[in-house]
Structure 1
Amino acid sequence: MVNAIWKKISNGNIEPVYLLTGIEQQLIDTTIQRLIKAMPDIDAATVIRFDLEETPIEAVIEEADTLPFLEERKLIIANHATFLKAADKSKEKIVHNVSLLEQWLENPSPTAVVVFVAPYEKLDGRKKITKLFQQKAVVVETSPLTGRDLTTWVQQEAASRGITISGEIAQLLVTMAGDSLLALSSEIAKIAMYMDGDGEVTGQIVEMLVPRQPEMDVFRLTDAYMTGNVPETIKIYHDLLRNGEEPIMLTSLIAGQIRLMIHVSSLVKKGYHQQQIAKTLNVHPYRVKLIMENRRIPSMQRLLRILERLAHIDHQLKSTGGKRERVLEIFFMDPMRGE
């Protein structure tokens, strides 16, 4: 949905009122930047900004209805639209004339683009003003991106920096850097700088420049252990230790990966598909995809026995004063134990 709105903005199809809602700040910032870029008379210095926690809505409306001086249309950002969420009125510092806003939304100014920002997880859908925004404004819901939407965003972000990236390599980048748009944007900027803003991103470049998330290395570690590949398991384990990971934390992450396998396997048997499982378990769809495509996952009984042994190892690590690294290493060197 957000990609379709961005495309319209890029094509110059700009509406008078926008509502940006949700907790993904990177999408909010990107939408505003796209509006600035699409309005030739506007730059970052000429954007008019209001904080609705400090300023009444009447000031925004007055500014919107005032004819612009040099521009064809002015761009106004009204942040923190608290009147759209269920709030404790006793804590509100400003009283907004919401009735005036309702009237204005019926006939907004043709010489201004007003962007209301409500950076909240949920709005109060019972309120008349919320329903009116849904009818009269272009609503951009900035929920965290997943699946194809996320890889598409990565490709667009790369293109905006002069480089290209395939869907497969975009997915590799997400796998290594995680699904935070802020982190991904930073990594793409680093890759673009390395490539001097030109060319196609390869898997080799991603592997060389992007630090792998500990969770994904733990996935590789767990997978190697499950398949009985002791040398690979020990190699990954030592790499993680050299990167500063602690055995206690690794034990917790491995146990979490085992529990995820158990939950995914259980939901697959109930007929859930990948996106449903990811939403139900509140994890990234790619992690679910990797588990569902892994044909070598042990039986539920073995997974539960491994989980029980990890609990024992966790107790050992927290009660021993010796070389903790060795405790977990012994576990990895005996992958068939517990069968």
Structure 2
Amino acid sequence: MFSKVWKKIQQGDFSPIYLLVGTEHYFFDETVRRIKESLNKDGETDILYFDLDEVPVQHVIEEADTVPFFTDRKLIIAKNASFLKATEKGKEKIDHDLKAFESWVQHPSETAITIFIAPYEKLDERKKVTKLMKDKALLLEAKPLDGNDLVVWVKSTVANEQKVMTDEAVGRLIDTVGQDLVQLQSEIHKMATYVGEQQEITKSDVELLMTRTLEQDAFQLLNAYLRGDTTTALTVYHDLLRQKEEPIMLTALLASQIRLMSNVRYLQKKGYHAQAIAKQLKVNPYRVKLIVESRQKVGEDRLLDVLHRLASADYQLKTSSGKRERILELFLMNRL
């Protein structure tokens, strides 16, 4: 759907109203960028921004109906169209004049392109204004990509960088980053720049250049601790301290990782596969994959014992006036 709309935009074929719905912000940003680019072919375009959590929608329609001075059309971007989703009565932030808006939607201005961004999983289909917008506006649903669709998108983005990526490298990239298209695009551009004249981006390139996350370091630290590798655990811990990470925050992160491991093991016993577990727990699939594929199977009692000891370390960190770095260090050195 997006590719067809983007092609029309490139040709200068615009809709007066766009409604972008969903949680994948890459599609919002890319659609707005392409409209700006196409409009600017004929000179600079007036661009106005509104946050509908801060101003009523009638401000948007007033601006849309005001004829631009120096251009044929102006571009209006109205984000956070929360009046299209379910809202508890009495908790609306802004008093939107929906009657006026509904009338305007049926006869929008010919001198403005207005984009309404609703960054929500779903809208309230019962509302008259929602039904009207879905009928009159050009609706684009920005849903996260997964499975083969995500692989195809990655390869297309790599091709735009004039590169190719091996299937192994694509899998490693997606496993590590997850489904965030903005972050994936950033990592792909970084890798394409790094390999220079080299045509292919390999799995080794991905592993070399991938930005390590704090969660990955915490997982490495915890795994080293659980298998009794004190040297590696302390090395990772001291590296994190040099990066100015706080022991209290690291303790909380380790506890969170323990709970994740416990939940993953539980869902595994229920017959869930890794992708389904990641979706159920709403975490990066790569984190789940590492736990599932780990050869080191830690029992529930052991995990609970470690969680209890982390709670004790957390209490000491929050009540001690001494050198706090030493408290988590002692925890890592004393494996029971």
Coarse TM-score class (shorter-chain normalised): 0.7 to 0.9
- The correspondence for 2:97, drawn from 95, 98, 122, is 95
Counterpart-to-counterpart distance in 2, 1:15 and 1:192: 33
Counterpart-to-counterpart distance in 2, 1:47 and 1:259: 51
Report the equivalent of 2:3.
7
Report how far residue 332 of structure 1 moved: 3.0
Report the equivalent of 1:216.
216
Structure 2 counterparts to residues 1-339 of structure 1, below 5 A: 5-12=1-8, 16=15, 17-35=17-35, 39=38, 42=41, 45-46=44-45, 49=48, 51=50, 53=55, 56=59, 58-59=61-62, 62=65, 76-80=75-79, 81=81, 83-86=83-86, 92=94, 95=97, 97-104=100-107, 115-120=115-120, 122-142=122-142, 153-166=153-166, 168-170=168-170, 172-173=172-173, 181-196=181-196, 199-335=199-335, 337=336
More displaced 10-residue stretch of structure 1: 304-313 or 124-133: 124-133
Report how far residue 254 of structure 1 moved: 1.1
Counterpart-to-counterpart distance in 1, 2:42 and 2:243: 43
Residue deviations 1:73-97, cap 9 Å, x none?
A: x684441345424566985466352
One-letter code aligned to 1:46: T
SS of the residue aligned with 1:309?
helix
Gaps of 5+ in 2: none
Determine what percentage of the aligned residue pairs are the same residue. 42
Are the structure 2 counterparts of residues 201 and 44 from structure 1 closer, same or farther at C-alpha, using a change threshold of 3 Å? Answer: farther
Report how far residue 304 of structure 1 moved: 0.8
Report how far residue 189 of structure 1 moved: 4.0
Report how far residue 257 of structure 1 moved: 0.5
TM-score, normalised by the number of residues in structure 2: 0.74
Counterpart-to-counterpart distance in 2, 1:275 and 1:112: 43
TM-score, normalised by the number of residues in structure 1: 0.73
Counterpart-to-counterpart distance in 1, 2:198 and 2:6: 22
Gaps of 5+ in 1: none
Residue deviations 1:86-123, cap 9 Å, x none?
A: 56698546635233245348xx97x9865332345653
Residue deviations 1:193-246, cap 9 Å, x none?
A: 444587333444445544311111111222222233333333323322332223
Residue deviations 1:158-178, cap 9 Å, x none?
A: 443444444543454466667
One-letter code aligned to 1:270: K
Counterpart-to-counterpart distance in 2, 1:43 and 1:256: 53
Is 1:261–1:291's contact at 8 Å kept on the other side of the alignment? yes
Are the structure 2 counterparts of residues 310 and 91 from structure 1 closer, same or farther at C-alpha, using a change threshold of 3 Å? Answer: closer
One-letter code aligned to 2:106: Q
Are the structure 2 counterparts of residues 313 and 49 from structure 1 closer, same or farther at C-alpha, using a change threshold of 3 Å? Answer: closer
Are the structure 2 counterparts of residues 8 and 331 from structure 1 closer, same or farther at C-alpha, using a change threshold of 3 Å? Answer: same
Work out the number of aligned pairs and report it.
324
One-letter code aligned to 1:98: F
One-letter code aligned to 1:7: S
More displaced 10-residue stretch of structure 1: 135-144 or 125-134: 135-144
Report how far residue 35 of structure 1 moved: 4.5
Counterpart-to-counterpart distance in 1, 2:41 and 2:23: 26
Is 1:25–1:142's contact at 8 Å kept on the other side of the alignment? yes
SS of the residue aligned with 1:220?
helix
Is 1:176–1:211's contact at 8 Å kept on the other side of the alignment? no
Counterpart-to-counterpart distance in 2, 1:146 and 1:156: 15
Counterpart-to-counterpart distance in 1, 2:316 and 2:105: 63
Is 1:61–1:101's contact at 8 Å kept on the other side of the alignment? no
Are the structure 2 counterparts of residues 43 and 268 from structure 1 closer, same or farther at C-alpha, using a change threshold of 3 Å? Answer: farther
